[in-house]
Amino acid sequence: MKKPILIAGKTYLIAILILWNFAATKAQGRIEKSQFDFGRSTPEAEGVSSEGIIQFMDAVEAGRNEIHSFVILRHGKIISEGWWSPYGKDLRHVMFSVSKSFTSMGVGIAIAEKKLKLNDKVYTFFPESMPDTLSAYMKEMTVKDLLKMATGMNTDPIFGARAAKDWPKTFLSSPVENKPGSVFKYNNMATFMLSAIVQKATGEKLAAYLKPRLFDPLGITNYAWDETPEGYTFGAIGLKLPSIDMAKFGQLLLQKGTWQGQQLVPSAWVEDATSFQIQGNAPENPTPREFNDWEQGYGYQFWRGRKNSYRADGLGGQFIIVLPEKDAVVVLTAAATNTQKELDLVWNHLVPAMFDKELPVNKQAQAELNNRIAGLSAPRPVQMAPDMAKKISGKTIQFAQNEVGITSLTLNFVGRDNMKLELFHGAEKSEIKADLGDWNLSQTKLKSLASPPVVNPGGLIKVASMYDWYNDSSLTISLRFVEESIREENLILRFEEVGSEIKVNIEHKNYVEFLGVQSRKLEGKIALLD
């Protein structure tokens, strides 16, 4: 898999990202229930060509997009799934705006429970947050307008929310230049307001409200959803789920809100939410309209797509793609630089591989597919550790004052393949384990090397790390805070022995989601005579 290449992302999400500090295949035709309550089958048994899935994987490897996982469902059964190391089956993945589609379901359930209505005026839920003056258009804005991203606002108020203590008031105070309901304009704050409205109407935070009504029945337990400083579920972003739970949500939608005989979400709501409600747009996507998956219309927090599809859609290529005409669901997680090309992989390789009837057994293609998937986490070839590793192992690297706040670090090499990094921010110690040329999944107090240790409500944070010697005196450490970010951080350490000490030059590269690369340089030294 190629290293990620960073470009500028969707401008309407930049601010929200700044804000956010906060397998063996069974025999042909045989179905086996798993812990995820999905049947499992072979591709051919469900009318899908294994060769088509192999071509999809070939295109992934040949492309510039970094794919983290895929799950393919056909006729309600898992026919293929794979994860690129260090991303794994049981790890949560950052969802970004896929979160919005879950918020939509929360609104639909609340409406079914008669807690609120589509035509309710937005401002009526927030009497304590009313500005001195409420504009005429703001008085007209309804829950439906929020769902359609048709607030009438030319600017997303999320840009001004960072310093605000009252986010609903920030929204209600914002200018509304167009009649609500008339014009589509992507608006993250609109989705936040939907989450806040559900909380106001039900007395429960959105995440808590959905737990017994959606998450528990689907068997979704390994999830987290960020909150705003005021204690609202963020709604617009912040949800983290394993890929398999994304697949459950997609299958629920395909089944019009039913799951194991239970109607979790009204079928009419699923139909309305995933149907065309307003013409969307993505002006930064130059693809002609007939091939542009952001020009097919917008529902209630869902994007319409080509081939009569619809999807939950998150920054960087997090997708739950529902294909009703094919009775299929495709889930992708990624750190993609071009999400249209990521979707094109589905249209060009997976959809053409889906047929209306069972296909003949293709043992050779199935075996090749299984081998390819098993090799996604294969270690990379690396050099043997040089003599420098022995000289620096267990020695403390001291740093002068720096913007990252790192005061010292120690590298402990154990045997040929293992290393423990001990990092100090003053007296606060954090540990990270790494393997030579392969990912080691460990836990740490850090969310990033770019900031001091933080108190994490969910406990220690998962980090995947590997290291490589790329010459006798240079070491690179790669880190992925897998449940916190979709990008990689690198430490590049260069050692130079000078008399009784070793000078250490460190370059820290922090890939901030679609905002670019933050590069810092640190200088330190090791006293060999200590």
**Tens of pLDDT along 204-224?**
999 999 999 999 999 999 999
CA distance 371 to 365: 10
| Residues contacting residue 482 through CB under 8 Å, at least 6 positions apart | 86, 87, 91, 93, 441, 462, 463, 464
Strand locations in 180-317 (E)? 224-225, 239-241, 258-259, 262-263, 303-305, 309-314
Handedness of CA 191, 196, 197, 203 (dihedral sign): positive
pLDDT of res. 454: 66
pLDDT of res. 416: 75
CA distance 268 to 235: 22
CB 119 within 8 A of CB 143: yes
CA distance 385 to 391: 11
pLDDT tens digit string along 286-328?
788 889 999 999 999 999 999 999 999 999 999 999 999 999 9
Place of tokens 């020695």: 395
CA distance 50 to 57: 11
Place of tokens 């309901």: 181
pLDDT of res. 313: 98
Q: Is the pTM of this model over 0.85?
A: yes
pLDDT of res. 184: 97
Domains defined along the chain, listed by start? 32-95+242-376 (3.40.710.10), 117-233 (no CATH), 387-527 (2.40.128.20)
Task: Transcribe 418-444 into DSSP letters.
Answer: EEEEEEEETTEEEEEEEEETB-EEEEE
pLDDT of res. 380: 60
- DSSP classification of residue 236: S
> Distances from the Cα of 276 to the Cαs of 102, 148, 305, 387, in angstroms?
18, 10, 10, 64
Counting as low any pLDDT under 70, the low residues of the chain are 1-37, 283, 377-384, 454-458, 512-517, 529-530
